[in-house]
Each structure stands twice: as C-alpha cells, then as structure tokens.
Amino acid sequence: MTQGQYVAAAYGVVFVFVLVYVAIIAAKLVRLQRETAALLELARGREAAARRDPASAAEAPTES
C-alpha cells in the first residue's frame, strides 16, 4: 500500500468511529426526550389531580 492509501484508510476509520458516536448520541437523545415527555405528562397529571382534590394530592405517595 502507498502512503496515500494508508491516510485514506485512517480517515475512513476515524469517519466510521465518528459516525458510530453520533448514532449513539442520537439514540440517547431520543430516549431522553421520551423520558422527559413521560415526566412532563406525570407532572401535569399530578397538577390536575391537585386542582381537583388538594387534600388527596398532598397525601399521594411519590413514585421513584
């Protein structure tokens, strides 16, 4: 192999690693967005319940 081919191969390897890294970050971002939406829905549900019956909302157990 010539030096140019080695350089091209090195760039190719780096490109693949960067592509895999971006894919992993994108997957984590999607999961984080889903979890954030679920937490927002839970918070809105508790807020609505507190408006309907403030006494029972104060006694409601917290979920973890």
pLDDT category, 61, cuts 50, 70, 90? low
Residue 2 dihedral angles phi and psi, to the nearest 5°: -90, 170
pLDDT digits (tens, 9 = 90+) for 35-54: 999 999 999 999 888 888 87
Angle, CA of 38, 35 and 58, to the nearest 5°? 45
Residue with tokens 């592509």: 19
Give the Cα separation of 13 and 8 in Å (integer): 9
Per-domain residue ranges of the chain: 21-55
Question: Three-state SS for 50?
Answer: helix
pLDDT digits (tens, 9 = 90+) for 10-21: 999 999 999 999
